[in-house]
Structure 1
């Protein structure tokens, strides 16, 4: 791990520097409006639910009351992030909002390191460098600096994928367990770990003459689904029905229709006389993600990378409701950036500077728009 950290250090420094540009623009923009950076990034939108769970648990009523989701609205939010926030807040004595924000910032660095590790394993350190740099300036990259679950989830997911690529099966199982209890899309991590572990077992790739060699993949198979299944079962028990979690999601207006809603939304956007910037960016992100998935598929990446990425795209594109959040839902699909990273690794320096510079400026300005102009959750 020390060697990996040394190789990743320069990329992580660039990643942090690029993220600071986006956060800085939001801070300055917010200051002009009389709103502090902490309030913008740590106490709004979904952060309110996570902080309430961290402070009061799932049993107490949500304050202020949920406009959607009903009285059980908090059951739509997975427990790892608020529980980590609660534990760290208890240990440090810091308020939950500051703890949650700090946790996200640290997790975002671990996520960038995990992305570097996966990209380096698939390609080389130069490609990994650009993958981490690009990840800092995707349109919704500001979420990586907010008190949201995405930084924690991406950190767990990236390292789980890396653990599969390096045949560290128990580690992959534990990380998938935690990822599955962090976000609904943790099922993509679970599937990647379980299917690859079963493949290793049935193709004999883990046979090295020891009993432990056969036990390791089974550990991943058994551990990986436990987080997602445990929360699913617990919500079902709380709501008195086996499909309680999905019932709660329906109350939020979130279902799965295989992409009908997404296609209809994209078609409707083409006929609207006026579009918001968010609608344009989300639509472009969704279409680009589907195209990049085909590009990634043609390059035949390892099964863990493809399964994880394909399922994330399927979940985001196939879900009905919350069209404005689909670009954020696609944020964990970091392997989609690898073709761009490969192209940048081959490009001349002036081209690299222009592309990264323009992307950084656009991402920073869009971050300000998302948090201070757009009136819905990023």
Structure 2
């Protein structure tokens, strides 16, 4: 415990500016939401903890799995679509404290968002330095849908697990990376992206080791034993969480290994390579007002693709590229609720690193002014969004 504290304390000191800045941005967003909601005679806290997916998670925490809603069109919305780690934590916190399940979800999300911000900082600092790490965290905080980070949703928890798993990969902690990837796989279906990052890093390390041995002409170059065993163990651990839940759902529904896909189909969720999303964007051009929204969607997708290409050109480490690529592909190419796509991209923080590097090179006063303006706009948009259609 003493050794852990010795390592953690300086790491936390290095991350302090990023975490304080993150907390300030999130506080601004919550205050703005509270004022906006009060003006509309709504409860900001209800919007954060007892609407949309948050309500489904608290029902799982309270009642377990098996609840479903049958819609007039025949669709079946089952709570089996929601992965279990967040409701497990909500139940745990509710058992050991006086908090309700909804309150527990809010607390878990707030704490997870701080650990996510710390993880984003740790990854970025390791690759590009401390200043870029602070900028990356602030950019993640001021995303237009950043308010979701403070909701009783699973995005913050997932991002925390993913970021620290990626950091463990970058620093050679294979068992930790595999364990965190497994937990990420119990949090959201996109946990597949973390698993893919672990496997890609493991395969690359294996191939690199073989190449080095062949180049040296000696089988004794580089210690193979413990490192190779840790890589294999990490790779074996990574998919266990997602696989366990998906197989359990298949057994429970009688649908076999693909039973979870049937559950998702009841929500009209699936993966069609982006065909449905392309049709949705195309339909926007049937009239002038909606055509502006169509142009905005095309520009947004183009920006995401450009950022990913920039990440590749700048030579980001393989685990970050694989992780961000899978998250982006699953978000953009899924036939799910189209309004959810910005929220589904929220965990893809490596896409922000090229912008963080640019911001880090600017003078402190200039970069602080840019972040402040964007933070204000993000806070206003988040309040407007949750008091309007909100995240489905």
Q: Does 1:13 align with 2:13?
A: no
- For 1:163 and 1:94, locate their aligned partners in 2 and report how far apart those are by CA, in whole Å: 33
TM-score (norm 2): 0.90
- Tell me the alpha carbon deviations over residues 248-299 of structure 1, each in whole angstroms, 9 at most, x when there is no partner: 1111111111122222222333443334998776654433211111111111
How is 1:73-84 mapped onto 2 (pairs within 5 angstroms)?
Answer: 73-84=78-89
Q: Does 1:100 align with 2:101?
A: no
- Aligned partner of 1:142 in structure 2 is 147
Question: Which moved further from structure 2: 69-78 or 284-293?
Answer: 69-78
- For 1:190 and 1:350, locate their aligned partners in 2 and report how far apart those are by CA, in whole Å: 39
Q: Does 1:262 align with 2:267?
A: no
- The RMSD of aligned alpha carbons is 2.1
Tell me if the contact between 1:282 and 1:327 (Cα under 8 Å) persists in the aligned partners.
no
Tell me if the contact between 2:116 and 2:161 (Cα under 8 Å) persists in the aligned partners.
yes
- For 2:336 and 2:326, locate their aligned partners in 1 and report how far apart those are by CA, in whole Å: 18
- Aligned partner of 1:333 in structure 2 is 348
- Aligned partner of 1:353 in structure 2 is 368
- For 2:293 and 2:65, locate their aligned partners in 1 and report how far apart those are by CA, in whole Å: 32
- Equivalent residue in structure 2 for 1:204, among 203, 206, 209: 209
Aligned length: 374
**SS of the residue 2:28 aligns to:** helix
- Aligned partner of 2:156 in structure 1 is 151
- Aligned partner of 1:343 in structure 2 is 358
Question: Which moved further from structure 2: 82-91 or 113-122?
Answer: 82-91
- Equivalent residue in structure 1 for 2:63, among 52, 56, 69: 56
- Equivalent residue in structure 1 for 2:301, among 282, 286, 289: 286
- Aligned partner of 1:4 in structure 2 is 11
Residue 377 of structure 1: how far off its partner (Å) = 2.4
| Structure with bigger gyration radius | 2
Tell me if the contact between 2:284 and 2:291 (Cα under 8 Å) persists in the aligned partners.
no
Q: What are the ranges of 5 or more consecutive residues in structure 2 without an aligned counterpart?
A: 1-7, 213-220
Q: Does 1:118 align with 2:123?
A: yes
- For 1:280 and 1:364, locate their aligned partners in 2 and report how far apart those are by CA, in whole Å: 24
Q: Does 1:295 align with 2:300?
A: no
Q: What are the ranges of 5 or more consecutive residues in structure 1 without an aligned counterpart?
A: none
- Aligned partner of 2:391 in structure 1 is 377
- For 2:369 and 2:337, locate their aligned partners in 1 and report how far apart those are by CA, in whole Å: 34
**SS of the residue 1:320 aligns to:** coil
TM-score (norm 1): 0.93
- Tell me the alpha carbon deviations over residues 121-149 of structure 1, each in whole angstroms, 9 at most, x when there is no partner: 11000011110111110011000000000
- Tell me the alpha carbon deviations over residues 206-249 of structure 1, each in whole angstroms, 9 at most, x when there is no partner: 98536322210011111000011111101111111121111111
How is 1:191-230 mapped onto 2 (pairs within 5 angstroms)?
Answer: 191-204=196-209, 208-209=222-223, 211-230=225-244
Tell me if the contact between 1:286 and 1:326 (Cα under 8 Å) persists in the aligned partners.
no
- For 2:147 and 2:291, locate their aligned partners in 1 and report how far apart those are by CA, in whole Å: 19
Q: Does 1:44 align with 2:48?
A: no
1:366–1:277 distance in 2 versus 1, CA, 3 Å: farther
- For 1:81 and 1:11, locate their aligned partners in 2 and report how far apart those are by CA, in whole Å: 25
- Aligned partner of 1:27 in structure 2 is 34
- Aligned partner of 1:367 in structure 2 is 382
- For 1:293 and 1:219, locate their aligned partners in 2 and report how far apart those are by CA, in whole Å: 30
Residue 356 of structure 1: how far off its partner (Å) = 1.1
How is 1:169-184 mapped onto 2 (pairs within 5 angstroms)?
Answer: 169-184=174-189
**SS of the residue 2:288 aligns to:** coil
